[in-house]
């Protein structure tokens, strides 16, 4: 049975009614459905999907199944796409529009592979292309569905301001600004530049970069007058950050186990014992374990981290958590199970927009070109090293 979640939330109303809109950033490998459900439990107002390659999403059913999953607890949600053609971006936005509340164009990813393919921050060198993608997407998908752009600062602040003002004229709903240039991978964010951009446009601006606590969210808003604050690394280390806690709580660990276990199940009929299956469907060990590595970073001793970070299977992780924190996965009741059950999405006939917009003979990569999630990722590898530099760098967050 195919299903369509009802997206009743107008994201623009969040900016009007919330004192500060608290947002989970798009993170390769990490801002997947289960983690989005987790942070939504702790006062996160809005989540992004990881960056999705729009052309693969349009052409490949496999890509859609791998890159975008959702449930009734997932809204409000923005799907972020990497694209550099109208048919890819508009086509992807139209495909996903029944299942989320907005789309975002990634113009900030600084990874080399993205730049080589003309995606991410390299798009800032072709602002007219960004304008065209936003304008045509805005004209193709009706409001209240939002069309936003996440970008980094250009070296010349004047040019950043010009791009933002022009995007406002093109109908962009809001902007998410990372307070560093593509060449600045570490260090303080440029709050003065963010403040000037906020002052230069009438649409909401979300500030992003280097935030590690709720106080820092509030401070960043006070300095820049932004309407929202987007957090990446800080939420990985502490998913309860937006509640004001300093470290991950035991309740959060319990919640993570429950979400991971329950969202792998297809029916309440197969509930047997409250333990993680050896190879649960719909969940990778990498997703389950990596998040716990980040979450326990400030809680475990150095020796405990050395042991836990190198565990290799679900059973050993569950045993460690049980012995250390006294918690094990618990079953959801029927109502909560229905809210977290992964939905079977129906994209039938929604690919026509992509096909109609695609020029004859347009070059593209293979239909099943997917982002490689199989490797551990540089950021995770740094985390499991002893005495590593835990700076706020997150190369995978555009």
Q: Is 58 a catalytic residue?
A: no
DSSP H or E stretch at residue 80: strand 77-82
Taking CA atoms, 4 is separated from 1, 62, 170, 202, 340, in Å, by 10, 19, 30, 33, 14
State the Cα–Cα distance between residues 136 and 132, nearest whole angstrom.
6
Interior/surface letters 142-168, b for 16+ CB within 10 angstroms, e for the rest: eeebbbbbbbbbbeebeebbebbebbb
One DSSP character per residue, 285-323 reads HHHHHHHHHHHTTTTS-HHHHHHHTT--SHHHHHHHHHH
d(CA 374, CA 377) in angstroms, rounded, equals 9
User: Which residue among the candidates 109, 121, 217, 260 is catalytic per the annotation?
Assistant: 109
**Token pair recorded at residue 120:** 């991410």
Nearest to 119, CA basis, from 86, 96, 144, 85: 85
Residues annotated as catalytic are 109
């Amino acid at each position: 049975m195919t299903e369509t979640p009802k997206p009743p939330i107008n994201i623009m109303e969040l900016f009007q009614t919330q004192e500060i809109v608290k947002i989970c950033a798009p993170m390769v490998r990490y801002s997947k459905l289960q983690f989005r459900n987790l942070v939504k439990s702790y006062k996160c107002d809005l989540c992004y999907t990881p960056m999705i390659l729009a052309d693969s999403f349009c052409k490949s059913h496999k890509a859609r199944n791998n890159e975008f999953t959702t449930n009734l607890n997932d809204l409000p949600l923005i799907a972020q796409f990497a694209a550099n053609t109208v048919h890819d971006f508009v086509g992807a936005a139209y495909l996903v529009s029944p299942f989320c509340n907005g789309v975002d164009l990634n113009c900030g990813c600084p990874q080399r592979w993205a730049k080589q393919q003309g995606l991410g921050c390299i798009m800032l060198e072709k602002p007219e292309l960004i304008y065209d993608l936003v304008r045509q997407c805005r004209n193709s998908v009706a409001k209240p569905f939002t069309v936003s752009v996440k970008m980094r600062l250009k070296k010349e602040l004047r040019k950043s301001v010009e791009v933002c003002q022009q995007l406002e004229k093109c109908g962009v709903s809001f902007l998410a600004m990372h307070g560093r240039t593509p060449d600045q991978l570490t260090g303080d964010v440029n709050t003065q530049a963010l403040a000037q951009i906020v002052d230069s446009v009438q649409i909401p601006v979300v500030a992003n970069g280097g935030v590690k606590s709720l106080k820092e969210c509030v401070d960043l808003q006070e300095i820049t007058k932004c309407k929202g604050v987007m957090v990446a690394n800080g939420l990985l280390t502490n998913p309860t950050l937006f509640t004001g806690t300093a470290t991950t709580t035991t309740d959060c660990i319990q919640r993570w186990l429950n979400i991971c276990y329950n969202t792998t199940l297809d029916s309440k009929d197969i509930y047997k014992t409250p333990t993680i299956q050896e190879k649960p469907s719909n969940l990778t060990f990498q997703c389950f374990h990596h998040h716990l590595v980040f979450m326990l970073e400030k809680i475990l001793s150095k020796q405990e981290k050395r042991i836990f970070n190198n565990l290799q299977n679900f059973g050993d992780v569950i045993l460690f958590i049980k012995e250390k924190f006294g918690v094990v996965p618990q079953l959801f009741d029927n109502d909560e199970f229905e809210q977290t059950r992964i939905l079977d999405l129906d994209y039938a006939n929604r690919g026509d927009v992509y096909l109609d917009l695609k020029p004859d003979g347009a070059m593209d990569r293979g239909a099943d070109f997917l982002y490689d999630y199989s490797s551990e990722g540089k950021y995770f590898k740094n985390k499991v090293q002893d005495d590593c530099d835990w700076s706020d760098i997150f190369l995978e967050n555009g």
